[in-house]
Amino acid sequence: MGATPVRLGQEFSGYAAQVTKGIYRVRLLRQNLKSSLWVALQLEPGSILILIFRKKGISRIADATGIAFREADDHFEAQGAKDAAVSLSGALNTVATSLMKIADDIRWLGSGPTSGSKSCGCLQYSLVLRLCPVRLIP
């Protein structure tokens, strides 16, 4: 890809779409986490007392937090595998990487012939220091 002219609005619409899709993925994966965290409340399979405690415990936690937690469909999968948490962690890392890339792009967009590293005169000294490693006193 060459030096194709791009408008600033096109650049920022890409950034907005990138962040919007990342947030959508996080919200989608967050739903899976609501059923996998509270399975550890079951101590003995088939116990009626534990079943009542589990249902009341989940409803109390849901009432206290305002998040609609629910009992997992398969308790063994929820206890043995943490796939929902790993997927959510990956989505959060993707959003963080996207935000770092956007910040870096904006930093480079602000750099030009009268700003950035060239304006402070650092480039001429670094080139001389690479060619001739002597101490310069400006």
110-121 residue pLDDT tens:
776 666 555 455
Per-residue burial over 77-106, b if 16 or more Cβ lie within 10 Å, else e, is ebeeeeebeebbeebeeebeebeeebeeee
Mean pLDDT along residues 53-77: 77
19-47 average pLDDT score: 74
Query: What is the spatial distance between Cα 71 and Cα 91, in angstroms, rounded to a whole number?
Result: 23
Q: CA–CA separation, 74 vs 96, rounded Å? A: 32
Taking residues 64-80, report their average pLDDT.
77
How confident is the model at residue 113, as a pLDDT?
65
| pLDDT above 70 for 20 | yes
**Of 109, 117, 110, residue with least CA distance to 6:** 109
Q: In this predicted model, which residue has the larger pLDDT, 95 or 108? A: 95
**Band of the pLDDT at 56, cuts 50, 70, 90?**
confident
- Domain coordinates in residue numbering, the chain: 8-112
pLDDT band, residue 12 (cuts 50/70/90): very high
Which of the pair, 138 or 97, is modelled with greater confidence? 97
Q: C-alpha angle 98/100/29, rounded to 5°?
A: 35
Which of the residue ranges 50-59, 77-86, 94-103, 119-128 would you say has the lowest mean pLDDT? 119-128
Which tokens in the block code for residue 107? 């930093």
User: What distance in Å separates the CA atoms of residue 99 and residue 96, rounded to the nearest whole number?
Assistant: 5
112 backbone dihedrals φ, ψ, rounded to 5°: -160, -165
Architecture of the domain delimited by 8-112? Up-down Bundle (1.20)
